[in-house]
Amino acid sequence: MSESAAIPGYRYGDTELARAPISIEDLNRLKQTVLFTEADERYLRMAGEVLADQVDDILDLWYGFVGSHPHLVQYFADAEGRPITDYLNAVRKRFGQWILDVCRRPYDQAWLDWQYEIGLRHHRSKKNQTDRVAANPHVPMRYLVAFIYPITATIRDFLAKKGHSAEDVDRMHQAWFKAVVLHVAIWCHPYTKEGDY
């Protein structure tokens, strides 16, 4: 069994997931819109190699950011506002795998279906169900979009830690930025009214 298969709630490639209501053609148009190319795919693979042994450090930084903002940590908290430790830990494992998936997975139908599932898990339609918790039942879409910046800005220092040239670091960083935008664009689908996406 692969390491990712042992992560509770991680269902990448599960054929029982709902099929994303976004076509591969729509995805290809999104890729064109963010200027995502085959070169970006190569630089994402490079980024995956660079980041693989830094995932815990990245998560420490990101969790520290979320934890220092009550308006963000509330989505991991119970009705009294206390963070649910087991929930935070379960999400952390999937978030760590997400970092690797951003860099390593092909952006195909399985990827689309999994990103759609992630969007559902932030939206009231499926929030809390995977981990069977009673946390805040909905993450507003504005925070998915706003989180693009910290997730992108903070990754650069990690990409620069392995001695790559400034040009390679910049290309890895740009590829990561484009990839994060693509992910969030898919995650936002459950938040839209029919016909608006």
1 pLDDT exceeds 50? no
Percent of the chain with pLDDT over 70: 97
Tens digit of pLDDT for each residue in 43-80? Answer: 999 999 999 999 999 999 999 999 999 999 999 999 99
pTM for the structure as a whole: 0.95
> How far apart are alpha carbons 37 and 14 in whole angstroms?
27
Residue ranges and CATH numbers for the domains of the chain are 28-191 (1.10.490.10)
What is the average pLDDT across 92-113?
97
Question: Could you give the CA distance from residue 120 to residue 11 in angstroms, rounded to a whole number?
Answer: 13
**Burial of residue 187 (number of CB atoms within 10 Å: 0-12, 13-18, 19+):** buried
